A and B are shown apart, each in its own frame.
Chain A
Amino acid sequence: MAETILFTDVGEGIHEGKLVQWRVAEGEAIKEDQPLCEIETDKAVVEIPSSKTGTVLKLHASVGQIMHVGDSLVTVGQPGESIPAVTASAVSSGHPSSPAAPVTTSSSPTVPVSKPPVSAPTSASLSATSAPKATPAVRKLAQQLGVDLNRVNGSGPGGLVTESDVQSAKSSASKDAQGASSELPASSSQYRQAAAGPSIHPALIKAAPSVRKLAFELGVDLGRVQGSGTGGRITEDDVRNANAPQSTAMSASAPTAASVPASPVSVSVPAPSAATRRIHVVSRPYGTEIRKPFTPVRKIISERLSWSAALPTVTHVDEADVTELWKIREKEKVHADEKGVKLTLLPFVVKAVCKALQEFPDFNASLDDEKGEVVLKKYYDVGIAVDTPIGLMVPVLKDADKKSVFDIAQQVQLLATKAKERSLKADELSGSTFTITNIGSAGGIYATPLINPPEAAILGVMRMQTRPAFAPAKKNATDSKAKPSKSAPKVEARQFLPLCLTFDHRLNDGAAAALFVMEVKKHLENPEGLLVGDI
C-alpha cells in the first residue's frame, strides 16, 4: 500500500526548512535510505532519506517551498497505485538524518536526543500515530483542501477540529506558499479572500484598508480578530495584539526550536518580554528607508538571545598576561603554517578553559528547573561562536579536553569554514556545554556576551593588547647578583588578553566566577601545561 513520507524533525529541534532540491522524481524506483530531497534548515542543508522502498508516486512539495515538520514529502508505493489521502494511518516518518535525532515522531517521551537524556525535546511531540479529533465531514474537507489534520489545532470542545479550523489552516498554508507554490489562488475568487481567512465572510470584516495592510504584513487572519473599535471595528492595535500571542508561543518553544545546540535538558523559562512585543515600524517620509527581511537565522538568534537575556547573568572581566604564551605561539605558528593551519591564541584558550572547567564543574553545567537539579556534564564540548554573513553560528568542538592545541586549531578552522559555507551537519551544531566567543578577532576592549542557554557561562576573548607593564618577578630567582627584594621593577612591553566571562548567577556566584577566570588565567600565563603531549 502506498504510504506518504513526512518531513520530520531533523534533529536539532528545527521545525521548518526550505526544500532546495529533489533528489528523486515521480515514477522513480527508490530504496530505503536513499536521499529524497535536500532541505535547508536555518543553519545547515540536510538530506532527507527515504524510510521506504518502492516507487515515488507523488512529490508533495515544490522546490523553494518552506516545509514544516509533519508536512508530506512524497508518496511511495507500487507503480500505478492510486495515491491515498494523507491520513494518520498511512503516514510514516522519514528517517532522521542525524544519529542524534529522534527516530520517529512517536509520542514516546524517552527518545534519546543527545548524551544524557534528561528529558525529550518537545518538538518531537507532533503525533502522527494518534488520529486527530475530527468529524467525518471535517476530515473530508481536510482531504479536499489538502490539509494535514495532524497540524491543525482544534478549537472545538476537547480539541475537536472544526471546519473553520481546517479552512484557516488551508488559508494560512496558502499564505505560506505565496510566491513559491505553483498552486496559486484562482483569480476569480481571490479578491474576496484577500483580506481574511474564511473563518468569517470577508465582506463582514470591519477593518479599514490600512488595518488590512498591516494584517497582511503581520500574517494575521482578520476573521479571527475581535475588533475593539466602534461597532466592532478592528483597529491596528487589535491586529498587533492578535499577533502577539503567536510570538509568545514561539518563544516558549525557543529552547527546542532554536538550532544553536539543542540541549538535552528541558528548561522552562518565562517568555521574554522582548520577543513577545511586536513593534510595527511605520515608514514616514523623512528620508529614504530600505526594508529587508528579518531572516530565519536572525529570528532564531533573536529568540535564543531574548531567552538568554531574560536570565540573571553577570559579566566578570579580567585579563591574562600572555607574553610567554605569545612567544610560544609565534614559534609554533611556523610549524602550523607548514601544515596549512592558522594558529591563533584561541586554541590555547580552549585548552585553558577545559582545564578550568574540570576544576570548576559548576561552569560546565545546566540547570534543570523542572526537577530542581543541576546537571554537571563530564564531557567538554566547546561551542565556538562564528560570525558568518547570514548571522551568528555556534559550531561545536566535541571533547575539546581530549584534543591537542594543534588539533583544536585545525578543527576550529574547519568548523568556521563550514559555518560560513552553511555546510555544517545538524550534530555539529548541537550539544555544546560551554561557549567561547572570540570577539577579539573583530576588536574591542571588553564586552558582555550573552550566554548560550542552557549553558552556565560564556567566555568572551578580546583583542590582545601590547602595553608597557612591570615584568613579573622571576619564579626561580637563583641569580646571585640579583637581589629581588631591592631591585627596581622593570618595565617592558607585555601582551595582555582581556577575558570577559558572562555567567548564570543562579548556578554560580561572583566569587566562583572570579576564581574560574583566575584558573583560566593561570593556564594561559603558564602555558607549558597546555602543551603537554602537544605539537
Chain B
Amino acid sequence: MVMGDLPQQTDLLVIGGGPGGYVAALRAAALGKSVTLVEKERLGGMCLHYGCIPSKTLIHAANFVEDARHAEEIGLTASTSVDVAKLRAWKEKVVGQLCRGIEHLCQKRGVTVIQGVAQFESPNRALIHLPDGKQGIEFGKAIIATGSKSIEIPGFSYRQARIWNSRKALELTEIPKRLVVIGAGYIGLELGFMYAKLGSHVTILEGMPSFLPQADNETRKLLEKRMKELGVELKLNCKVEGYSETTPSAGQKVGGDAALTVRTSGGNVYTDYVLVCVGHRPYVEGLALEKARVKTDSKGFIVTNISMQTNQPHIYAIGDVRGGPLLAHKAYLEGKVAGEHAAGHNVAFLAKVIPSVIFCDPEIASAGLSEEEAKKQGLHVKAAKFPFQASGRALSMNAGDGFVKVVASEDNTILGVQIVGPDAGELIGEAVLAIELGASVEDFALSIHPHPTLSEGLTEAMENFLGKGVHS
C-alpha cells in the first residue's frame, strides 16, 4: 500500500478506496486539490479484491473447464483437472497487478493514501484510526465511498467456516463437493454456475416463486435449461430455516459425507458449504455520520443530489453507499462527478442508462428499458428479437442459445437492449452508446457490422424491428 504521512488538514478527504473513491481522489488531485484517501484494506475495494475481478477471473477458468468437458462434441479430446492452489495464485496475480496499478496512479497524482478507518467528529473534521494510533484531520470537503457489505441472514454467521459470503467464496480455499447457494439473484447464480463448472454439486435455494427478477421469462428458461445441463438444482419457494453440523455417524445414509444439513421449508439439504447471496447493504458503521450531520434514507443509504452532494453540500457520497444499482461502473462515474464537483466544477451524473451484466451461462447483459419497464412507465414502445441460433458466429462458437432484443419508441428511438448469449457483456457497450446518443433503430441497422461476429446479432434485431430482417 502506498503510505504517506497523515496530514493535519486536506482539501478533500476521500473515505474508501474502491472504484468510486480512488477515481474521485484521482480526479480531484488532477484538478489541483490536496487529496487524502483513507482505505481500511487495499486500494480497489470490493470490486477488485472480492467482487468483479476475482469472480470474472475464476469464471473464465470455470468456463474453460466446462468447454473442455464438451470438447468432444466438436471433435476434440481433452482432459482437464483443476489445481486449486495454482488457480488461486493466478487469481491473486491478476488482482495484485491491478491493485499495484491503482497504487501507482495515486502516487503519480500525489494522492496521500492512508491505511486506516475514518470516523467523523464534525462536518469538517474526522478522526482516522490508524494501525498504530489515531489522528484527527480537518477537511474542506469529503467524499464518502465506503461501499456495501453482504447482508447476513439470521443463524448463518459468516464467522462460521462453512458459511460463506461472496467474499469467502472467491477466496477459493477449496472446490466443495457440495455447495448450497442461498439466494438466486445475480451473484448467487454467477458463483453457483462457477462452482458447478469447477466440479461442485450446487443447489440454489430461493425463497421467492421466481428467480433473477430483472430477467424475462425467456431468459429464465434458458438459465434453467443450462442449470439442468450443469447439474445445478434450483429450489424455488424454498425458505431456509437453519442448519446444523452433520455428525459423521448420523448423516451417513441420507447425506453421505456432507458436513452440513440445511433445514428448509422443502426439506433437508445436505451440503459441505453454504454460500449466502441475499444482497448488500450500505457500509456506514463506524463513520459516525450523525457527527457530520449527513442524512441517510430508511435503508441506510446516504441521500445525495445528482452532483453527489449530501445534505451537507461539502460532503459527497458515491458508489454503493448512496444506493441505486450497486455496480462498479456506476461508482466510477459517480467518483468522477464527485471529484470534479469537489474541485469546483459544475458537474452532475447525467447518464441515461447504467448497463448491467450477469456473468452466468448464457451471459446476460442489459442497457436501458426492458419492454415491460417501458410499458409500466406509460411509454408506447415496440420490441423485436434476433435469436443467436441464426447467427453464424454463435453457432461456430457452439453457443447458439440466447437472443438480442431491442426496445424502441414509436419514432424508432432505441430505448433499451437486452442481450442473452455469448459475450453479451462485451456487446452491450455499443447499445449503451446508441441509447446515450439517441440513435434510431434505423441508424443502427444501417451501420455495417463485421461478419461473422456476434455483433451482427444487434443489427439483425434492429432490422427485424423495422420489418426488414433477412436472416430470421
> Which of B301, B306, B369 makes the CB contact (< 8 A) with A203?
B369
> Are A232 and B303 in contact, CB atoms less than 8 angstroms apart?
no
CB-CB nearest in chain B for A174? B305
Chain A CB within 8 A of B348 CB: yes
> Are A206 and B413 in contact, CB atoms less than 8 angstroms apart?
yes
Question: Are A203 and B313 CB-contacts (below 8 A) given A186-B303, A195-B350?
Answer: no
Most chain A CB within a 10 A radius of its CB, from B304, B306, B348, B415:
B306
Q: How far is the CA of A206 from the CA of B347 in the complex (A)?
A: 20
CB-CB under 8 A from B352, the residues of chain A are: 191, 195, 202-203, 209, 212
Q: How far is the CA of A193 from the CA of B324 in the complex (A)?
A: 13
Number of interface residues of A (CB under 8 A): 35
> Which of B304, B323, B415 makes the CB contact (< 8 A) with A184?
B304
Chain B CB within 8 A of A370 CB: no
CB-CB under 8 A from B310, the residues of chain A are: 184
CB-CB under 8 A from A402, the residues of chain B are: none
Q: How far is the CA of A423 from the CA of B301 in the complex (A)?
A: 42
For chain B, what secondary structure do more than half of its interface residues adopt (helix, strand, loop), or is it mixed? loop
Q: How far is the CA of A216 from the CA of B415 in the complex (A)?
A: 21
> Which of B309, B323, B411 makes the CB contact (< 8 A) with A178?
B309
Name the distance in Å between A65's Cβ and chain B's nearest Cβ: 11
Chain B CB within 8 A of A444 CB: no
> Are A208 and B436 in contact, CB atoms less than 8 angstroms apart?
yes
> Are A194 and B436 in contact, CB atoms less than 8 angstroms apart?
no
Chain A CB within 8 A of B351 CB: yes
Q: Mark B400-413, 1 if CB is under 8 A from A, else 0.
A: 00000000010111
Q: How far is the CA of A217 from the CA of B306 in the complex (A)?
A: 13
CB-CB under 8 A from A207, the residues of chain B are: 438
Name the distance in Å between B442's Cβ and chain A's nearest Cβ: 9
CB-CB nearest in chain A for B440? A231
CB-CB under 8 A from B295, the residues of chain A are: 182
Interface residues of A in 278-336 (CB under 8 A from B): 291-292
Name the distance in Å between A259's Cβ and chain B's nearest Cβ: 24
CB-CB under 8 A from B304, the residues of chain A are: 184, 187
CB-CB under 8 A from B311, the residues of chain A are: 181-182, 184
Chain A CB within 8 A of B307 CB: yes
> Are B377 and A201 in contact, CB atoms less than 8 angstroms apart?
yes
CB-CB under 8 A from B349, the residues of chain A are: 190-191, 194
CB-CB under 8 A from B303, the residues of chain A are: 184, 186-187
Q: Mark A77-96, 1 if CB is under 8 A from B, else 0.
A: 00000000000000000000
Name the distance in Å between B322's Cβ and chain A's nearest Cβ: 6
> Are B411 and A186 in contact, CB atoms less than 8 angstroms apart?
no
Interface residues of B in 330-353 (CB under 8 A from A): 344-352
> Which of A180, A184, A231 makes the CB contact (< 8 A) with B411?
A231
Chain B CB within 8 A of A204 CB: yes
CB-CB nearest in chain B for A222? B350
CB-CB nearest in chain A for B379? A201
Chain B CB within 8 A of A179 CB: yes
> Are A185 and B306 in contact, CB atoms less than 8 angstroms apart?
yes
> Are B306 and A233 in contact, CB atoms less than 8 angstroms apart?
no
CB within 8 Å: A-B pair count: 97
CB-CB nearest in chain B for A178? B305
Q: How far is the CA of A85 from the CA of B238 in the complex (A)?
A: 49
Name the distance in Å between A167's Cβ and chain B's nearest Cβ: 14
Chain B CB within 8 A of A480 CB: no
Chain A CB within 8 A of B390 CB: no
Chain B CB within 8 A of A478 CB: no
CB-CB nearest in chain B for A187? B323
Interface residues of B in 306-324 (CB under 8 A from A): 306-307, 309-311, 313, 322-324
Chain B CB within 8 A of A213 CB: yes
CB-CB under 8 A from A195, the residues of chain B are: 350, 352
CB-CB nearest in chain A for B437? A208
Name the distance in Å between B190's Cβ and chain A's nearest Cβ: 24
Q: How far is the CA of A182 from the CA of B440 in the complex (A)?
A: 39
Chain B CB within 8 A of A205 CB: yes
> Are B348 and A194 in contact, CB atoms less than 8 angstroms apart?
yes
CB-CB nearest in chain A for B330? A191
Q: Mark A438-473, 1 if CB is under 8 A from B, else 0.
A: 000000000000000000000000000000000000
Question: Are A180 and B436 CB-contacts (below 8 A) given A190-B306, A231-B411?
Answer: no
Name the distance in Å between A422's Cβ and chain B's nearest Cβ: 22
Question: Are A179 and B437 CB-contacts (below 8 A) given A185-B305, A203-B379?
Answer: no
CB-CB under 8 A from A186, the residues of chain B are: 297, 303
Q: List 23 A-B contacts (CB under 8 A).
A: A178-B305, A179-B307, A184-B304, A185-B306, A187-B324, A190-B305, A190-B306, A191-B324, A195-B350, A203-B368, A203-B374, A203-B415, A208-B437, A209-B350, A209-B351, A209-B352, A212-B350, A213-B350, A216-B348, A216-B350, A291-B344, A291-B345, A292-B344
Closest 10 CB pairs of A and B: A206-B438, A179-B313, A187-B323, A182-B311, A212-B350, A184-B305, A179-B309, A208-B437, A194-B306, A178-B305
**Contacts A184-B309, A188-B323, A191-B352 supplied; 9 other A-B pairs, CB < 8 Å:** A64-B313, A179-B309, A184-B304, A187-B303, A201-B379, A204-B379, A213-B347, A213-B350, A231-B413
Binding site for B on A (CB under 8 A): 64, 178-182, 184-188, 190-191, 193-195, 201-209, 212-213, 216-217, 231-234, 291-292
